[in-house]
């Protein structure tokens, strides 16, 4: 079996059937082009820009398709920052956090709402129950799971997380 991953920016919908893939490039016609009046702001007037990237592959949806879509929709952007005294900070190699399961995806990293630490959001992306082992590039004193509101914390005794299919996990880490 073979497949095709189509990554895109700016297209509101897709349909697949009968060996044909269709992209809906506009959501609704303008008021001038139809006999009905759509809600204000719901029509697509003006100039539009569409971008597509195609990745043929063997088999069904997998980690390579997700990585391709992430890279296409969120390209790496580098920005030089001045350090104290105007000098650029020294570069460090390595990752703040990484994990060993390719179907676990990164969603957010932010400072915790209350208290010290950072909140990391991960999710399972392929509908498979998965255990992922986290590895940190800095020493971590405390590791917790919580709900999306960062409440109801449960302390983790290790660095393994078990995910149900499509589950979102909120992890609070205190360096």
pLDDT at 20: 87
Q: Are 107 and 122 in contact (CB under 8 A)?
A: yes
95 phi, psi to nearest 5 deg: -115, 145
**What is the band of 45 on the pLDDT scale with cuts at 50, 70, 90?**
low
Q: pLDDT digit string (tens) for 87-125?
A: 555 556 667 888 999 899 988 889 988 878 899 999 999
Indicate yes or no: pTM above 0.75: no
Q: Report CA-CA distances (Å) from 120 to 40, 84, 147.
A: 38, 28, 12
Q: What is the C-alpha to C-alpha distance for residues 175 and 172, in angstroms, rounded to an integer?
A: 10
Q: Pick the range with the lowest mean pLDDT from 24-28, 132-136, 161-165.
A: 24-28
Helix (H) or strand (E) holding 154: strand 154-155
């Amino acid at each position: 079996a073979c497949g095709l991953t189509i990554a895109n920016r700016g297209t509101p919908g897709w349909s697949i059937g009968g060996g044909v893939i269709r992209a809906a490039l506009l959501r609704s016609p303008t008021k001038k082009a139809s006999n009905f009046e759509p809600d204000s702001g719901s029509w697509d007037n003006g100039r539009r820009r569409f971008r597509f990237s195609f990745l043929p592959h063997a088999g069904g949806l997998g980690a390579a398709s997700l990585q391709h879509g992430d890279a296409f929709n969120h390209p790496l952007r580098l920005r030089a920052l001045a350090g104290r005294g105007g000098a650029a900070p020294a570069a460090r190699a390595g990752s703040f956090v990484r994990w060993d399961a390719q179907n676990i995806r990164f969603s957010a990293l932010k400072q915790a709402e209350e208290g010290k630490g950072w909140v990391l959001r991960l999710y399972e992306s392929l509908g498979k129950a998965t255990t992922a082992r986290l590895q940190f590039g800095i020493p971590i004193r405390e590791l917790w799971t919580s709900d999306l509101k960062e409440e109801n914390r449960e302390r983790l005794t290790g660095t393994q997380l078990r995910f149900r299919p499509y589950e979102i996990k909120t992890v609070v880490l205190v360096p």
